[in-house]
Amino acid sequence: MKRIICDSYEDMSRVAADIVEAQIACKPDSVLGLATGSTPLGLYEELVRRHRESGLNFSKVRSFNLDEYYPIGKDHPQSYNYYMNSNLFSKINIAAAYLPDGEADDPMSECKNYDAKIEEAGGIDLQVLGIGVNGHIGFNEPSVSYTITTHLTQLTESTLTANSRNFTDGEAQPETALTMGFGAIFGAKSILLLISGGNKAEVAKKLFDGKIHTDIPAALLHLHPDVTVILDKEAAGGISNLMIENAN
């Protein structure tokens, strides 16, 4: 697992954009796995900027998002569909972009179809991940066992509390979500995990303490052969100089 510590959130976002750009340069028809939340907003802003100013071309790129609340309408301002359209898809020339359908009548068959679509696309080339304060990736919450396929999951109190900041008072917050499982995430050829902010310092520390904590889903990423973790200074607990090292 390669670890990059950046001085700022902006630097972290630029380094992440460099990796995404290099992926598209090497393979113009890349399949990207994408995350939502506050962490990748800077990355998406930088990708949009490079698309507009330097012609970064997404015309052959396809993407699959990690997760979507369930149930939620596509046009709901807190849906991940809405987030992705407003922050990225409407601003670039991406060939096709998929998210689990938060309005599906039959969530189980939606999950199966989603995995089938990922497989048909040849799997994910580069998976972008954020991390929950409890160590979740996608909405794979801490547990004694982890689900391989895309599935409907119950969000934990920790996640509901962390994400309640996005819902206004009185607005119903879904307590369940559709999420990619470990199969599609670990099937990705390479993985880019972004960790930002002081509230992630504790989980980041545990991620790099030399143990695989099975109650931190992200810690299992140590078992994947190609993972890059980019942290900003706050998440890294105050280490300020840009340093690249092999954390294993």
- Minimum distance of ligand F6R from residue 177's CB (angstroms): 9
- Collapsing DSSP to helix, strand or coil, 124 comes out as coil
Please report whether residue 130 would count as binding ligand F6R according to CB under 6 A. Answer: yes
Applying CB under 6 A, the span of 7-15, 111-119, 136-144, 209-217 interacting with ligand F6R comes to 136-144
Q: E strands of 2-150, at which residues? A: 2-6, 31-34, 62-65, 67-70, 96-98, 126-129
Contact 231, 196 (CB under 8 A): yes
Residue choice 67, 101, 115, 141 for contact with ligand F6R (CB under 6 A): 67
Residue choice 42, 132, 142, 217 for contact with ligand F6R (CB under 6 A): 132
- Minimum distance of ligand F6R from residue 53's CB (angstroms): 25
Show the tokens assigned to 244: 């690249």
- Minimum distance of ligand F6R from residue 134's CB (angstroms): 9
* 44: amino acid identity, one letter: Y
Q: Is 141 a catalytic residue?
A: yes
Please report whether residue 142 would count as binding ligand F6R according to CB under 6 A. Answer: no
Q: What is the largest CA-CA distance in the chain?
A: 50
Contact 227, 147 (CB under 8 A): no
Q: Decide whether 38 or 147 has the Cβ nearer to ligand F6R.
A: 38
Residue with tokens 């520390």: 205
- Which of 192, 214, 215, 194 is CA-nearest to residue 204? 194
Q: Is 67 a catalytic residue?
A: yes
Burial profile 134-144: b = 16 or more Cβ within 10 angstroms, e = fewer: bbbbbbbbbee
Length of the chain: 248
Residue choice 33, 102, 138, 181 for contact with ligand F6R (CB under 6 A): 138
What residues between 144 and 183 interact with ligand F6R by CB under 6 A? none
Show the tokens assigned to 232: 């900003």
Please report whether residue 36 would count as binding ligand F6R according to CB under 6 A. Answer: yes
Distance CA 99, CA 36 (A): 11
Please report whether residue 100 would count as binding ligand F6R according to CB under 6 A. Answer: no
- Minimum distance of ligand F6R from residue 25's CB (angstroms): 25
Q: Is 134 a catalytic residue?
A: yes
The catalytic residue positions are 67, 134, 136, 141
Which residues form the interface with ligand F6R (CB under 6 A)? Answer: 35-39, 66-67, 130-132, 136-138
